[in-house]
């Protein structure tokens, strides 16, 4: 019963990604990226963080666009057989419109194409919408970092074993 659900989920995700353009992040995007970052996270990445990701040979950075404006972004590292989603955010005014799903689905596909066997991430324990999105993609909770974020908020560690999932449904 699980396989048809996953097929439907990833087929729908592939269709969604056709409707939400994704492209590589460039330095020219950083003002808009930083505005979203600061709106989404109390302890936001700096311009230098993003510049380091853009320069890293192991990093993949993409942005999503909607109606001619930058709507979200994702930063991921792939090293050997492991990928890690380091930062993902969507403009708060556009959240729950499929942009986050398009970015995460793309990251899972890209990690697999680049030879990763697992995708890892961490998320604030208080961010239930994000946790639900990751679980929808098959991520499972693999650990907890106590008081990792500001104000003592825990980080939930999540993993997706790509060998067990099928992302190339289209």
Pick the catalytic residue: 82, 122, 165, 166? 122
Residue 6: the pLDDT is 41
**Domains of the chain, earliest start first:** 2-164 (3.40.630.30)
84 has catalytic annotation: no
Residue 163: the pLDDT is 82
Residue 165: the pLDDT is 52
Residue 19: the pLDDT is 83
Q: Are strands 82-90 and 118-124 parallel, antiparallel or unpaired?
A: parallel
What is the pLDDT tens value at each position of the chain, 170 positions in all? 333 334 444 444 444 545 899 999 999 999 999 999 999 999 999 999 999 999 999 999 999 999 989 999 999 999 999 999 999 999 999 999 999 999 999 999 999 999 999 999 999 999 999 999 999 999 999 999 999 998 899 999 999 999 865 544 33
Residue 66: the pLDDT is 94
Task: Compute the distance between CA of residue 112 and CA of residue 43 in angstroms, rounded to an integer.
Answer: 30
122 has catalytic annotation: yes
pTM: 0.85
Pick the catalytic residue: 37, 134, 150, 165? 134
């Amino acid at each position: 019963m699980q396989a048809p659900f996953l097929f439907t989920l990833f087929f729908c995700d592939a269709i969604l990604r056709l409707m939400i353009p994704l492209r590589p992040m460039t330095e020219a995007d950083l003002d808009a990226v930083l505005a979203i970052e600061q709106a989404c996270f109390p302890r936001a990445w700096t311009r230098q963080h993003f510049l380091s990701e853009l320069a890293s040979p192991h990093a993949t950075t993409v942005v999503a666009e909607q109606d001619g404006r930058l709507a979200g972004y994702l930063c991921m590292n792939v090293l050997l057989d492991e990928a890690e989603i380091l930062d993902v955010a969507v403009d708060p005014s556009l959240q729950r419109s499929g942009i986050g799903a398009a970015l995460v689905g793309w990251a899972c596909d890209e990690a697999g194409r680049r030879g990763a066997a697992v995708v890892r991430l961490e998320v604030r324990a208080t961010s239930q919408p994000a946790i639900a999105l990751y679980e929808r993609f098959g991520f499972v909770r693999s650990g907890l970092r106590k008081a990792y974020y500001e104000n003592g908020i825990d980080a939930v560690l999540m993993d997706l074993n790509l060998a067990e999932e099928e992302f190339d449904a289209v």
